[in-house]
Amino acid sequence: MSAPTLPVPAPPLPVPAPAARRSGPPRWWRAATATAAWGVVVAVCALWAYGGGLRELGDLGGALVSLGRLTGLVASALLLLQVVLMARVPVVERAWGQDALARAHRVVGFSSFVLLWVHVVLISAGYAARSPLGLLGTLADLVLDYPGMLLALAGTAALCLVVATSLARARRRLRRESWHLLHLYGYLGAGLVLPHQLWTGADLLGSRLATVVWWGLWGAAAGAVLLWRVAVPLHRSLRAPLRVVDVVPAGPGATTVRVGGPGVAALQARGGQFFQWRFLGAPGWSRAHPYSLSAAPGRDTLEVTVAHVGDGSAAVADLRPGARVLLEGPYGRLHDGVRTRPRVLLMGSGVGVAPLRSLLGDLGDDVEDAVLVHRVRTPHDALVAQSARTAEAVGARYVPLAGRRAPGSWLPLGATSLDDAAAIAHLVPDVASREVYLCGAPGWTDAVVAALRALGVPDDAVHRESFEL
């Protein structure tokens, strides 16, 4: 039997001029937030130099200690930036989107962790060079006799646990619920490191300016978490409570939940965005789960389709109408507000089609010649029928591609007669003039992005979100 071929695309329409409107955040938000982050690092280095850091480089011991202080200060600044990245600050989240923030989160986190250990090594070596106790004796003296060092050691251990469980191989072995609980130790580690800096850190106590700056940074990071991760979601949920309206199966291994209440309108959600969900009374309700909207938001209802990939998501099938719901969000740039072109291409893998369906429903008649490409394991997947109905309702072209994903490709096995870029060009010849929205597993979205770049689609016209299964 011959291998299946890709569907024959519809003839491309003439390429229209780009759309003039954009209702999303202005582009300068991203540059402004990045500049602010770099400004924090530069300010920390300037305070180190102002406090005499350069003058101490004259001898080996002094140089090791001074550079150790500098690396510790930068590591602390990056750790605080890491906390802010996890705080869901609206201006940051809207400017970057969750996919870009996740990548920045990894880079900043690992950089802070490496600098932390460089700080430990340099400080220990510098003090040992000045002490008759030797390296081991100096380490014991630092840990046991310096104020706050035992807490700093415990904080370092907590951060080591977070980094170790963030590695891809470790994450695949952990249940999401376990990984999420362990990841919260990042907050604990940051809190335990603070006392030794306040009690023994000359760079924090050497001048009033340094003290104000560092207390301001710590206060801003803690305030961002308390405000945006705790106070705002609780205020919204208590002021206008949401409850489960309906729970229906969405095919094998998936459930659709509809929630409603007077607080929906105040959320100002867009199709394609996601929330952090807590269903009170269900197992694991204390842990938030990121689920994307699977239908365009209504005036007083939201709908989400959840794949059963863990204990928390599987428990969604047992929800009962009337259960209280706590939400954080909406989050993500996978919505119409960032669009600058009149035509769109939407590409999803598996349950990643859910936010694209809600985005399609939100677009309505305000888009020309939309195309939804959907890779699924089997043509009998319930998501295929649902996605086909959504596309038909808004006049979009729906292209399902069934089969297991080919290694290193976005295409399914049996549909690889063309390479990744040629396949997209075959299905959507005018792709370079379209706005592209992607949602799927990281490896799949990476393959699609590489193909789009090869076809000349600019990065600012590609909006993606990845999820880990």
The pLDDT tens digits of the residues spanning 209-263 come to 888 888 888 899 989 989 988 898 888 877 778 899 999 887 777 888 999 988 8
Contact criterion met (CB below 8 Å) for 6 and 427: yes
Query: 347: helix, coil or strand?
Result: strand
Q: How confident is the model at residue 139 (pLDDT cuts 50, 70, 90)?
A: confident
pLDDT for the residue numbered 2: 41
Rounded distance between C-alpha atoms, residue 26 and residue 14, angstroms? 29
pLDDT above 80: residue 397: yes
pLDDT above 90: residue 453: yes
pLDDT for the residue numbered 449: 94
Task: Give the residue, 198 or 275, on which the prediction is more confident.
Answer: 275
pLDDT for the residue numbered 434: 92
Return the residue matching tokens 């409850």: 243
| Number of neighbours of residue 146 by Cβ within 10 angstroms | 14
Contact criterion met (CB below 8 Å) for 279 and 314: no
The pLDDT tens digits of the residues spanning 175-220 come to 665 666 666 666 677 777 776 776 666 666 667 888 888 888 889 9
Q: How confident is the model at residue 93 (pLDDT cuts 50, 70, 90)?
A: confident
Assign a CATH topology to domain 339-466: Rossmann fold (3.40.50)
pLDDT above 70: residue 331: yes
CATH number belonging to domain 240-331: 2.40.30.10
Domain boundaries, the chain: 28-236, 240-331, 339-466
DSSP line for 149-178: HHHHHHHHHHHHHHHHHHSHHHHHHS-HHH
Average pLDDT (17-38) is 70
pLDDT for the residue numbered 416: 64
Task: Give the residue, 142 or 357, on which the prediction is more confident.
Answer: 357
Task: Give the residue, 204 or 321, on which the prediction is more confident.
Answer: 321
pLDDT above 70: residue 95: yes
Q: How confident is the model at residue 345 (pLDDT cuts 50, 70, 90)?
A: very high
Structure tokens at 255: 């459930």
Return the residue matching tokens 């009690």: 199
Return the residue matching tokens 């040629």: 422
Q: How confident is the model at residue 448 (pLDDT cuts 50, 70, 90)?
A: very high
How far CA 459 is from CA of 31, 279, 386, in Å, comes to 15, 36, 30
Percent of the chain with pLDDT over 70: 84
Q: How confident is the model at residue 74 (pLDDT cuts 50, 70, 90)?
A: very high
State how beta strands 289-292 and 301-307 pair.
Answer: unpaired
Q: Is the pTM of this model over 0.75?
A: no
The answer to whether domain 240-331 and domain 339-466 are alike in fold is: no
Contact criterion met (CB below 8 Å) for 64 and 125: yes
Average pLDDT (443-453) is 92
Query: What average pLDDT does the structure give for the chain?
Result: 81
Find the helix packing angle between 134-145 and 149-166, rounded to 10°: 100
pLDDT for the residue numbered 153: 79
Q: How confident is the model at residue 170 (pLDDT cuts 50, 70, 90)?
A: low
pLDDT above 60: residue 116: yes
The pLDDT tens digits of the residues spanning 428-439 come to 999 999 999 999
Length of the chain: 469
pLDDT for the residue numbered 327: 86
